[in-house]
Amino acid sequence: MGDLRLCTKCVLPETHETIAFDDHDGSCNICKQSEFKHENIDWDQKKKDLDELIVKYKGKYDYDCIIPFSGGKDSTFALYYLIKEYGLKPLVVRFDHGFLRSGVENNTKKVLRKLGADFHHYTPNWKVVQKLMLQSFLEKGDFCWHCHAGIFSYPMWVAIRYHVPLLFWGEPSAEYTAYYGYDQPEEVDEKRFNRFINLGINAKDMVIRLNGAVSERDLKPFSYPPLKELKKINCRSVCLGSFIPWDVKKQSKIIQDELGWEGDIVENVPPGYSYEKIECYMQGVRDYIKYIKRGYTRPTHLASIDIRNNRLKRNEALELMKKYEGRRPPSLDLFLDFIGLTEVEFM
């Protein structure tokens, strides 16, 4: 960790995106947002707002809503909650980034059969994905452009194609960053997409950067649909966690107990957090890159959430970080093979 300045309440460092420290007590703005969430929000009113939103759309289209779905803890809980609480008929939409772990595949089948929902699974062209991974890694030190751009834009195209105007995502970004606060309405729209999802590179930019190696047509699934198309269907795209208080530990327990959803062992994720990042077998590489660039990784993030929820003491968090951060992951070899770099070039 070196001499990184850390929040005095949680353990997020100064290199965490959007972080700012309070001059008075040294706590961070993410902790302040968490306090606001626990103390200042009328969650009963938020639940009524959710009831009203659902009444507006339920039973009026072939599907009541679209639930973008990885099969991880957040999207699984969103699916469970909306079916159990409201009896919705959702279209479950997965953008397959190419690195789904076998455990998440098993969970998905189990969950969909238990809850009963139609499933739309889309896998983009692997040759295109390889080019996108290399390009975004070389430019931004982040190979996940295709994944994040696809996950957040492809379901919007499905909404237009099937004329399903309501989309429910999982947690709001205010849980983890300060791009939006809990005191602001957070629509999952193009403004949010451009603000922090796509690394400042849109699909048209990517076509230019790849010098004609891919076409605009190839990158349509990674591009955000035109606003006029979304307005035509009266689209609303929201986070379920804007209406009910989000708590990943409690929610993971619910889906484990109710649906038989199972956690997994993931590189560089400490024991006790087996619900975290089980979707992607490149998680270890992503964390390793983050450690090289920012000096911290997922254990810091997980420990900070537990501190804010009074489940972990700060000194315990620091021990956890010391033990689990910064290791070279075995999946790095796979990654280098996929994008055609040597480890020396990678470094």
241-282 pLDDT, tens digit per residue, is 999 999 999 999 999 999 999 999 999 899 999 999 999 999
CA-CA distance, 11 to 314, in Å (whole number)? 7
Is the pLDDT at 1 greater than 60? The verdict is no
120-145 pLDDT, tens digit per residue, is 999 999 999 999 999 999 999 999 99
291-343 pLDDT, tens digit per residue, is 999 999 999 999 999 999 999 999 999 999 999 999 999 999 999 999 999 99
pTM of the model: 0.95
Q: What percent of the chain has pLDDT over 70?
A: 99
pLDDT confidence of residue 2:
57
For residue 145, the 8-state DSSP code is H
CA-CA distance, 212 to 209, in Å (whole number)? 8
Instruction: Give the other-Cβ count within 10 Å of 169's Cβ.
Output: 24
CA-CA distance, 165 to 234, in Å (whole number)? 6
pLDDT confidence of residue 3:
85
71-80 pLDDT, tens digit per residue, is 999 999 999 9
Closest by Cα among 206, 330, 346 to 289: 346
Structure-token match 């965490």, residue found? 16
Taking the CA atoms of residue 297, residue 292, residue 27 and residue 271 in that order, the dihedral angle to the nearest 10 degrees is 20
Cβ atoms of 77 and 247 within 8 Å: the answer is no
* Amino acid at the residue 65: C
32-61 pLDDT, tens digit per residue, is 999 999 999 999 999 999 999 999 999 999
153-187 pLDDT, tens digit per residue, is 999 999 999 999 999 999 999 999 999 999 888 99
